[in-house]
Amino acid sequence: MSRYMQLKVTVMPYYPRYLEETYPKTARYVKRSGSALPEPNPSLYDLAGQVDKLLYKLDGTPFREVLLRHREKLRTLHRHITEHIAEWRLAQADRLLYELEDEFDLLEAELD
């Protein structure tokens, strides 16, 4: 690494439009939580990193019960993606991002 510069790899949201159109039920509850996410249109990776905070803020909601069932999988995926990015294993990180999307698809389908 350079003395005064560093490379940065980030996970950015890339929805056809916004989180609200791609995952409307999830977005509704996330918005209701008033969660201090880094941006108004967070990536699923950012949401997975905030699972425990969302569980706390959404206590007593149907979303919390659904999210609780997916908690460990989301946390594990987030941790492994972070590790792969840190080790510059970007192909593996990308593969896990697909799994993360699949997990959010399941979560969204369980919401009423």
pLDDT band at 50 (very low <50, low <70, confident <90, very high): very high
- Tell me, what's the pLDDT at 85? 95
Listing DSSP states for 50-110 in one string gives: THHHHHHHTTTSHHHHHHHHHHHHHHHHHHHHHHHHHTT-HHHHHHHHHHHHHHHHHHHHH
- C-alpha distances (whole Å) from 67 to each of 21, 41, 55 are 19, 19, 7
Give CA–CA dist 66/81, Å, rounded: 22
Residue 1 pLDDT > 90: no
Q: What is the pLDDT of residues 13-48, one digit of tens each?
A: 998 888 989 999 999 888 887 765 557 789 999 999
Tokens at 78, concatenated: 């987030």
Cβ distance 13 to 42 under 8 Å? yes
- Tell me, what's the pLDDT at 86? 92
pTM over 0.85: yes
Question: Which residues, other chains included, contact 3 with Cβ-Cβ below 8 Å and sequence gap of 6+?
Answer: none
Least confident of 35-39, 67-71, 100-104: 35-39
The mean pLDDT of the chain is 91
